[in-house]
Amino acid sequence: MQGSANLNLMIKAARKAGRSLVKDFREVENLQVSAKGPGDFVSKADREAERIIKEELMGGRPSYGWLGEETGETAGEDPTRRWIVDPLDGTTNFLHGLPHWSVSIALEHKGQIVSAVIFDPAKDELYWAEKGAGAWMNDKRLRVSGRRNMIEAIFATGVPFGGRGTLPATLQDLARLMPVCAGVRRWGSAALDLAYVAAGRYDGYWERGINAWDIAAGMLLVREAGGFVSGIREDDDPLEKGAVICGNEGLFEPFRKIIRGE
């Protein structure tokens, strides 16, 4: 695998955090029958994974900035570079013993994502991309799907939970999209949803009310695999506005029109 020194550092951090999470994931089943339940345990696993990643990345590049789901934002001495990290994307799956969750790490340079790693330890799938160098899963080059007909296409999304305000808009999206496509999936890890679009497994993905750490790495994967990514409204930056849509070359425009209600 030929990658930059930064990419290799990101992969090392993701694998190390992945090992710690796998160990904790095996414990989750036992905890489900304990009095306290697994909630506390999982948030500890999550925090420990972020600690491991931060130690590796900030140890290797102490001048970079940091944005992590668990520890928030810290400005770096170098204002042009920032790590964007979700140590455990798919926390609810993890908590329920469902083996579909990931570690997501992105490197931003001057406002653009330049390197990305998403690691799915349960399936031993390591997705990575660098700007201009393509997108990969383990040692296989990724390419978005070639489907051209909406009725054959599968789309992924995240549906809001726990009373989040994006529910009405998401229900309207679903009402417009579901009758004209082959299916909609909600698998519970936004980072993997994007990685699956890059891998041609899904034909597109959209989500409202999403955070930068959920999507930063996956956005580069999709672009480097030949797909398109944007905000749901024309000029919006998905990382700032928290709404993202992506798809393969042939379906991105019709899919985006449906989601925008045009």
Residues that bind ligand IPD (CB under 6 A): 86, 89-92, 158, 188-190, 207, 210, 214
* Residue 260 C-beta: closest distance to ligand IPD, Å: 20
In the bound complex, what is the minimum distance in angstroms from residue 254's beta carbon to ligand IPD? 23
Query: For residue 155, what are the contacts with CB-CB under 8 A and spacing of at least 6?
Result: 177, 181, 183, 184, 185, 202, 203, 204, 205, 206, 247, 255
120 near Ca ion, judged by CB under 5 A: no
- What's the min distance (Å) between Cβ of 221 and ligand IPD? 15
Cα–Cα dist 46/130, whole Å: 26
- The answer to the question of whether 69 is labelled as a binding residue is yes
Q: Please, which residue, 205 or 252, has the CB nearer to ligand IPD?
A: 205
Q: Which is nearer to ligand IPD, 188 or 204 (CB)?
A: 188
| Contact positions with Ca ion (CB under 5 A) in 35-94 | 86, 89
**Binding partner of 158, given ligand IPD, Ca ion, none, CB within 5-8 angstroms per partner class:** ligand IPD
> Starting at the edge strand that comes first in sequence, how are the strands of the sheet with 102-109 ordered?
72-74, 65-68, 81-89, 102-109, 112-120, 125-130, 135-137, 140-141
- Binding-site positions for Mg(2+) read 69, 86, 88-89, 214
